[in-house]
């Protein structure tokens, strides 16, 4: 069975990050790269890792349409297969991302996993925006499976990718049961003494 696990590679030592990525790649569907690693290693790390595993750039893009376009073009040119964006700048900003390359994956943050992380997000409106702009999928929190279930009802068959398992305390099984397609795990894997074994464990845990 293909993996439903995404590695959040927030390791900031570039050599270790590459090593973890190589060891974990056989156990994950994709690797998500956020600012901590790109700011340490440069955008070249996206190019390097995308040679052996699809990379989602988690830049939580949230600007005016023109700036969104410029940011996302850099990520796609570096080899990213997908990008994560915030919904609150509205439809024009999201459509600008789609127009850069509609064959790439666009994921939209619906609500966040940390304590109070849902307070400032409008789940209904953001889900309808994701559908309106033709997003590939949405980001919803494994720390609140009830929100994942609500998002699943609202987005039909769009992909749901869910962070918050491991260090943040969410359960992969509950989150998949609530309707998520993929579980995102960072520290639970890359801080482990044996990241590949940890990834395999998280992968098996959700089936």
Separation of alpha carbons 160 and 139, rounded Å: 6
Q: What's the min distance (Å) between Cβ of 141 and ligand BMP?
A: 5
Q: Which residues pair with 86 in a beta bridge?
A: 109
- In this structure, are strands 82-86 and 30-34 parallel, antiparallel, or unpaired? unpaired
Q: What's the min distance (Å) between Cβ of 20 and ligand BMP?
A: 13
- Binding to ligand BMP by CB under 6 A, coded x per residue (else -) over 27-66, reads -------x-----------------------x--------
- Residue from 107, 166, 171, 198 touching ligand BMP (CB under 6 A): that is 166
- In this structure, are strands 5-8 and 30-34 parallel, antiparallel, or unpaired? parallel
Is residue 79 involved in binding ligand BMP (CB under 6 A)?
no
Examine the residue annotation and report whether 60 is marked as an active-site residue of this protein.
yes
Contact segment (CB under 6 A) with ligand BMP among 18-26, 45-53, 65-73, 111-119 equals: 111-119
Instruction: Count residues binding ligand BMP (CB under 6 A).
Output: 19
- Residue from 180, 184, 198, 199 touching ligand BMP (CB under 6 A): that is 184
C-alpha distance from residue 29 to each of 54, 55, 105, 179, 185 (Å) = 7, 9, 14, 17, 12
Separation of alpha carbons 30 and 53, rounded Å: 6
> Which residue out of 60, 74, 95, 201 is catalytically annotated?
60
Is residue 118 involved in binding ligand BMP (CB under 6 A)?
no
DSSP structure class, residue 7: E
> Given the rule CB under 6 A, which residues bind ligand BMP?
8, 10, 34, 58, 112-113, 117, 139, 141, 163-164, 166-168, 184-188
């Amino acid at each position: 069975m293909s993996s439903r696990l995404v590695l959040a590679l927030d390791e900031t030592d570039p050599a270790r990050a590459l090593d973890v990525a190589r060891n974990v790649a056989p156990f994950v569907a994709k690797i998500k790269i956020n600012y901590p690693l790109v700011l340490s290693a440069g955008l070249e790390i996206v190019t390097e890792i995308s040679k052996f595993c699809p990379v989602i750039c988690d830049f939580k893009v949230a600007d005016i349409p023109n700036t969104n376009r410029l940011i996302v073009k850099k990520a796609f040119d570096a080899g990213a297969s997908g990008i994560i964006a915030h919904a609150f700048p509205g439809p024009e900003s999201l459509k600008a991302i789609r127009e850069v390359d509609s064959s790439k994956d666009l994921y939209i943050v619906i609500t966040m996993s940390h304590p109070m992380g849902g307070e400032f997000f409008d789940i209904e409106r953001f889900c309808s925006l994701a559908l309106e702009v033709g997003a590939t999928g949405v980001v919803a929190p494994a720390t609140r499976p009830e929100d994942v279930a609500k998002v699943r009802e609202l987005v039909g068959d769009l992909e749901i990718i869910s962070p918050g398992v491991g260090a943040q305390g969410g359960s992969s099984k509950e989150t998949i049961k609530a309707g998520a397609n993929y579980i995102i795990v960072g520290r639970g894997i890359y801080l482990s003494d044996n990241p590949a074994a940890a990834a395999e464990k998280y992968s098996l845990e959700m089936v």
